[in-house]
Amino acid sequence: MEDQFFRLAVALAIGLLVGLERGWREREGAAGSRTAGLRTFGLFGLLGGVFAILAIEMTAPVIFAAGFLGMAGLFGLFQFHESGHDRNFSVTGVMAGLGVFGLGGLAIAGDYRVAAAGGAALTVVLASRELLHGTLKRLSWIELRSALTLAVMTTIVLPLLPNRTVDPWGGLNPWEIWFFTVLIATISFAGYVAVRVLGPTRGLLVSALAGALASSTAVTIALARMAHGVERTRPLVGAATLAGMVSILRVLVIASLLRVGILEQVAVPALCAAVVLGAVGLVLLLRNGHDLQAQELVTNPFELRALLGFAAIFALVSTASAAVVARFGDASLPVASALSGLFDVDIAVLSAVRLDADLPMIGSAILIALAANGLGRVFLAMLAGPARFWAPLLAGILAAAAAGAAALVLATAG
């Protein structure tokens, strides 16, 4: 009996929570001018719980179904007359009422915690109308296509791929290759959204940091090209250095998610290098800070051709790394990581963490890949920008590498 009282209270609370949002939205209307408000939605939740109790006690689920249909018909009729009077064609209120009744029943017959969470989620969705509608108005077709592509990649393509290696060396796992591609694409899309929300062209710092979520190499090349037309390049160098810091932090997050225990091998030297890059970048920006307007550094991350190219290169590098390691042993893993790290640090790190090697060897490969990627960014900056940009960038990256190496030596000695 006590449990039923508690569950009925949860059902009532769900209705009151949704009714609070509905009543607040229509608070300017005269009393009795609306079909349902705070009290009515509270009753919807309570009635859902009562009908669920009756259905359980009488072992007749049809009772709950009859109550649901009766409530839907009665509420729909009143809502129909209200809509005709106000010339309003929205059915959100009806759907909310049906949801509250169903969640009230779930609080009795199922897990009341799930019902409470569902009630909170329903309220948040209802309260986010302006935000969601405003976002939809600002959403471009390219962005919508990108989101749909991510959904297809995740929910359709990924489950269809075999989760096993299909090559003789044990390096090519189609499911893992695609999963890593989706992971990188998701991070890239998050960076793109951050730029869109925060204003990508209103500050060099925001643009560079958000762009580094997608690719610190792309950010470095864009800044190097901008340096041709800028007399004082120190702020641009600072932004590129901070992008390198974000790249290291991103790699640490991805590696920790994909390989348990790897942080113990790489966290101290990688974080020391990231701290140095962050300090150098902030000093360059603060001491030489102009209110520079950066071009948008992040393009749409969901160009399908680029994604397929990443997956193909990742598959090739993964297979080649596994073949090299299978042929020459784990000792060849650092060499493979260094070569692939010059091209793309994500591919190098992802290829390393998925190999069947011991953690210290994988940790060394990740650190080598990070160092190689830093030097690779400097090389690309040399090709794309003037010496006044890449020379201080090289100094900052070398200082970070020295700090990471020193931290590694001290950690190993300790």
Out of 21-25, 184-188, 370-374, 383-387, least confident range: 184-188
Domain ranges of the chain: 2-134, 140-413
310-317 contact pairs (CB < 8 A, 24+):
310/181, 310/184, 310/347, 311/177, 311/178, 311/181, 313/343, 313/344, 313/347, 314/177, 314/180, 314/181, 314/347, 314/350, 314/351, 315/172, 315/177, 317/343, 317/347, 317/348, 317/351
Residue percentage of the chain with pLDDT more than 70: 75
104-129 pLDDT, tens digit each:
999 999 998 999 999 999 998 888 87
For residue 293, pLDDT beyond 60: no
209-244 pLDDT, tens digit each:
777 776 777 778 777 877 776 777 888 888 889 988
pLDDT of residue 64: 92
Q: Is 375:367 a contact under the CB 8 Å cutoff?
A: no
Query: Burial, 343: exposed, middle or buried (Cβ in 10 Å; 0-12, 13-18, 19+)?
Result: middle
Q: Residue 372: name the closest of 404, 411, 325 by CA.
A: 404
For residue 319, pLDDT beyond 50: yes
Q: How far apart (Å, rounded) are the C-alpha atoms in residues 147 and 139?
A: 11
Please compute the mean of the pLDDT values over residues 253-269 and round it to a whole number: 80
Q: Is 182:154 a contact under the CB 8 Å cutoff?
A: yes
- In sequence order, what are the residues at sequence separation of 6 or more whose Cβ sits closer than 8 angstroms to the Cβ of residue 255? 262, 263, 266, 349, 353, 366
- Tell me the one-letter amino acid at 95: M
- Tell me the one-letter amino acid at 377: R
166-194 pLDDT, tens digit each:
888 776 888 878 887 787 677 667 656 65
